[in-house]
């Protein structure tokens, strides 16, 4: 086992300390001779990043004053660290453990420190990362990643495997990911692109923008808008009140909102299409040369001139088959209007 433990007696010079601005590592430890399989990192207030495919495996620790206006010398940073924090870095049984925490609760936030980790490893790694407020970023790794922050943002790029991320309020960014992905925020926005697999992305209030996704996709927000483009597979996209704009869909899908307008453009049908709106309007653009079972209900329905339709069409409903029937298309606008366009 290799271990670094910061105590009052530890000399600043032995650490190679250079952290007055927080831009240079307080500690750098090489991991080059370690066959790491797992990483566990915990800190209070600082950020954590994990980067794979590194030619120089290492961990860097960054320390700066919690109050950004408080410019501390090296000696002052070291004194605060020794008085109020424990910082441990262990390597045992192919696992890196990096933990920074307060010895006792600091009542004066101006006396606090931000302690961040930047970890560089090989490609195949499992991780469990947590911070009480900083951001978490993961890039270029394969494996199981389980990470959470109490308020910072989450960023995932070029990652495959099992991905589980939570933030209590920060934003989420997902790009070039593949596998079983479940990420959520209590209020921040979400952006997701160029990813595939089983994707579950939820926010309690922010908006969600997603494009170039393929797989079993579950997108949700409690109030923000949804904007999607070029989706394949199976899509469930719901918001409790925001607007919905979905383009270039080549998937089975269900989408719903309780208040905003919905705009949907179908490029190619999947197995079904279902659109629900409790009060806002719905605009649907879809191919006109496929067999479809239509079931449309709203306060008012307007359509292009439709050939090969068989059924009943009134001002507030349209039920029947198009081109002999086939794929179920169910649209309900409540008190809102439905506009149907064929292409």
Query: What is the pLDDT at residue 107?
Result: 62
User: Which whole-number Å values give the CA distances from 324 to 331, 341, 342, in the listed order?
Assistant: 19, 18, 16
Q: What angle do CA 325, 330, 331 make, to 5 degrees?
A: 135
Average pLDDT, the chain: 90
How many C-beta atoms lie closer than 10 Å to residue 18's C-beta?
12
Question: Residue 177, CB half-sphere, CA atoms under 13 Å: how many?
Answer: 31
* pLDDT above 90 as % of the chain: 75
Determine, yes or no, domain membership for 323.
no
Query: What is the pLDDT at residue 306?
Result: 85
Determine, yes or no, domain membership for 134.
yes
Determine, yes or no, domain membership for 14.
yes
Q: Where are the alpha helices (DSSP H) in the chain?
A: 74-84
Q: How many helices (H) and strands (E) does the chain have?
A: 1, 25
pLDDT in tens, 131-165: 988 999 999 999 999 999 998 999 999 999 999 99
User: What is the number of structural domains in the chain?
Assistant: 1
The alpha carbon of residue 224 and the mean position of all alpha carbons in its chain are separated, in whole angstroms, by 15
User: Which whole-number Å values give the CA distances from 167 to 170, 183, 209, 338, in the listed order?
Assistant: 6, 8, 17, 37
pLDDT in tens, 75-124: 888 888 888 889 999 999 999 999 999 887 776 666 788 899 999 999 99
Q: Which residues of the chain have pLDDT under 70?
A: 1-22, 67-70, 107-110
Q: What angle do CA 165, 170, 175 make, to 5 degrees?
A: 55
Determine, yes or no, domain membership for 90.
yes
**Tokens found for residue 333:** 């606008």
**Collapsed DSSP state (helix, strand, coil) of residue 109:** helix
Q: In this structure, are residues 270 and 287 in contact, taking their beta carbons and an 8 Å threshold? A: no
Task: Please tell me the pTM assigned to this model.
Answer: 0.90
The span from the CA of 62 to the CA of 103, in Å, is 18
Determine, yes or no, domain membership for 339.
no
The alpha carbon of residue 196 and the mean position of all alpha carbons in its chain are separated, in whole angstroms, by 13
Domain extent for 97: 1-159
Q: In this structure, are residues 129 and 39 in contact, taking their beta carbons and an 8 Å threshold? A: yes
Long-range pairs for 11-14: beta carbons < 8 A, 24 or more residues apart: 12/74, 12/75, 12/78
Determine, yes or no, domain membership for 140.
yes
């Amino acid at each position: 086992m290799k271990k670094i433990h910061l105590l009052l007696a530890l000399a600043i010079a032995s650490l190679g300390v250079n952290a007055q601005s927080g831009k240079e590592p307080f500690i750098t430890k090489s991991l080059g001779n370690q066959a790491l399989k797992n990483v566990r990192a915990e800190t209070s207030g600082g950020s954590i990043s994990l980067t794979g495919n590194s030619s120089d495996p290492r961990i860097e620790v960054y320390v700066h004053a919690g109050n950004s206006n408080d410019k501390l010398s090296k000696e002052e940073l070291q004194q605060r660290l020794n008085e109020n924090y424990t910082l441990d870095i262990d390597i045992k049984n192919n696992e890196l453990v990096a933990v920074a925490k307060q010895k006792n609760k600091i009542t004066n936030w101006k006396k606090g420190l931000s302690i961040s980790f930047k970890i560089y490893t090989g490609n195949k790694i499992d991780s469990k990362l947590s911070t009480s407020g900083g951001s978490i970023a993961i890039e270029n790794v394969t494996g199981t990643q389980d990470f959470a922050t109490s308020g910072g943002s989450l960023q995932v790029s070029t990652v495959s495997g099992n991905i589980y991320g939570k933030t209590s309020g920060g934003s989420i960014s997902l790009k070039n990911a593949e596998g079983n992905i479940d990420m959520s925020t209590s209020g921040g926005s979400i952006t997701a692109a160029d990813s595939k697999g089983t994707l579950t992305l939820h926010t309690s209030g922010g908006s969600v923008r997603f494009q170039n996704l393929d797989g079993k996709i579950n997108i949700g927000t409690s109030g923000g808008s949804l904007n999607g483009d070029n989706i394949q597979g199976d899509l469930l996209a719901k918001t409790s009140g925001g607007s919905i704009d979905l383009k270039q869909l080549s998937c089975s899908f269900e989408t719903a909102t309780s208040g905003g307008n919905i705009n949907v453009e179908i490029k190619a049908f999947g197995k079904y299409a279902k659109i629900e709106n409790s009060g806002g309007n719905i605009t649907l653009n879809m191919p006109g040369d496929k067999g479809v079972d239509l079931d449309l209900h709203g306060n008012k329905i307007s359509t292009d001139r439709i050939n090969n339709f068989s059924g009943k069409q009134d001002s507030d409903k349209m039920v029947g088959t198009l081109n002999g029937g086939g794929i179920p298309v169910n649209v309900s606008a409540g008190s809102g209007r439905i506009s149907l366009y064929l292409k």
